[in-house]
Structure 1
Amino acid sequence: MKKTVLFVHSAGPQGQDQGSGNLSSYLNKELGDNYNVVSPEMPEPENPVYAFWKNQLEKELHKLTGDVILIGHSLGGSVLLKYLTEHSCHLHFSGLFIIASPYWGLEENWRSKEFTLQPNFEQKLPAIPNLFLYHSVDEDIVPFAHHLAYAEKLPQATTRELEGKQHLFLHGLPTLVQDIEGLEAAR
């Protein structure tokens, strides 16, 4: 039976060679026939509003059954964390993979009341057995300090500190694929 992967993309233009488009396509190709990668269009990605993204995420989650793997890229990662810590869900999540996500409120130019996590959000995160955080050390879109803040709040997470300045991962993220495939091997 295929495993379901729900991929929530970044803000900004979406499509081939834009935003999370290449990363989503890469995952679809690399995970092959054993996984069903669902990458929904999120509303107004160039001017995202949390309430609209939350509603779309709820619709997508209600379509799914069984064991689900969640992946959030950039804004998609922070939206997943906010949703999971503020709402209950009927699904079992076998993994949560957060890629290059902003930690809203960490720095002056990263303030957004609607996307900011609640204080002590980490205490409200459901029990997800496999939590991974990925971030490029020298990235210039979402500073590496955001990754460190998440790592401090989520010490149970496996952290992947990647070389270079990648944010969009235009050529894929092999470590992510290995970690996803490793979930099955760990069972």
Structure 2
Amino acid sequence: MVQQVLFIQGGGAEDDYVADSPLVTSLQQALGDAYAVQYPRLPAEPTPDFGRLQQIGNALSVLPSGSMVVAHSLGASMLLKYLAQRSKPHPFAGLFLLATPYWQGNEDWKEALKLPADFASRLPATVPVFLYHCHDDEQVPIAHLDLYAQQLPQAHVRHLPSGGHQFTHGLSLVARDIKLL
């Protein structure tokens, strides 16, 4: 049986789907034929959260039990927000979060993106969480990884020396972690 993996794109612009396509290709190649990476297009909507909460909910609702979820950048932070707001957890086998922004500040535009203060306690306790971030990320500072690591002490934290925001060296490390579960 083929293991299902959902990849949630980053960004809130139309071209972000295309920008994250190399990540999906890298992940599928590293995982091999025993895994099927699903990559639904999440169009930017004119809402404060870009429509991501509803879109993520729709994508998760069709996943079979035991699936893996990989999310990049804005998609990763919105996945966390979606899961923190749900009363019934999804039956995932693992969450793999890449270059996740930790939204802070009092700007109005950030309010729809910020996580609740107690988000960590609302996540499914039995689901392994993996956090990945490149030290040379030009869009999301590496300090955001440390903020998540403090909130999620049970998470497996992966510091990568290089690769930028788009993980230009590929996602073989993510694939290895997925295969180990």
- Aligned equivalent of 1:44: 44
Mapped to 2, the partners of 1:89 and 1:20 lie a distance apart of 29
Counterpart pick for 2:159 among 158, 161, 168: 161
Mapped to 2, the partners of 1:48 and 1:73 lie a distance apart of 20
Structure 2, unaligned stretches of length 5 or more?
none
Q: Is the 8 A contact 2:6 2:68 kept in 1?
A: yes
Query: For the aligned residues, what is the CA RMSD?
Result: 2.2
Q: Is the 8 A contact 1:138 1:164 kept in 2?
A: yes
Mapped to 1, the partners of 2:88 and 2:33 lie a distance apart of 27
Q: Aligned partner of 1:115: which letter? A: L
Q: Aligned partner of 1:95: which letter? A: G
- Aligned equivalent of 1:53: 52
Question: Is 2:11 the counterpart of 1:14?
Answer: no
Mapped to 1, the partners of 2:52 and 2:164 lie a distance apart of 24
Per-residue displacement from partner, 1:35-76 (whole Å, max 9, x unpaired)?
12111111217x774261111112212222221111110011
Per-residue displacement from partner, 1:82-118 (whole Å, max 9, x unpaired)?
001101456311101110010001x678x61001000
Taking a change above 3 Å as real, the CA distance of residues 48 and 41 of structure 1, as seen in their structure-2 partners, is farther
Question: Is 2:65 the counterpart of 1:66?
Answer: yes
How many pairs were matched up? 179
Q: Equivalent residue of 1:134, what SS?
A: strand
The within-5 A match list for 1:64-143 is: 64-89=63-88, 91-105=90-104, 112-143=110-141
Deviation of 1:170 after TM superposition, in Å, equals 3.0
Taking a change above 3 Å as real, the CA distance of residues 60 and 89 of structure 1, as seen in their structure-2 partners, is farther
Identity rate, percent: 37
Q: Is the 8 A contact 1:9 1:74 kept in 2?
A: yes
Mapped to 2, the partners of 1:90 and 1:155 lie a distance apart of 20
Structure 1, unaligned stretches of length 5 or more?
none
What TM-score does the superposition give when structure 1 sets the normalisation length?
0.86
Q: Equivalent residue of 1:93, what SS?
A: coil
Per-residue displacement from partner, 1:4-46 (whole Å, max 9, x unpaired)?
111101114135xx4211101111222121112111111217x
Mapped to 2, the partners of 1:119 and 1:14 lie a distance apart of 28
Deviation of 1:123 after TM superposition, in Å, equals 0.8
Q: Aligned partner of 2:72: which letter? A: H
What TM-score does the superposition give when structure 2 sets the normalisation length?
0.89
- Aligned equivalent of 2:171: 173
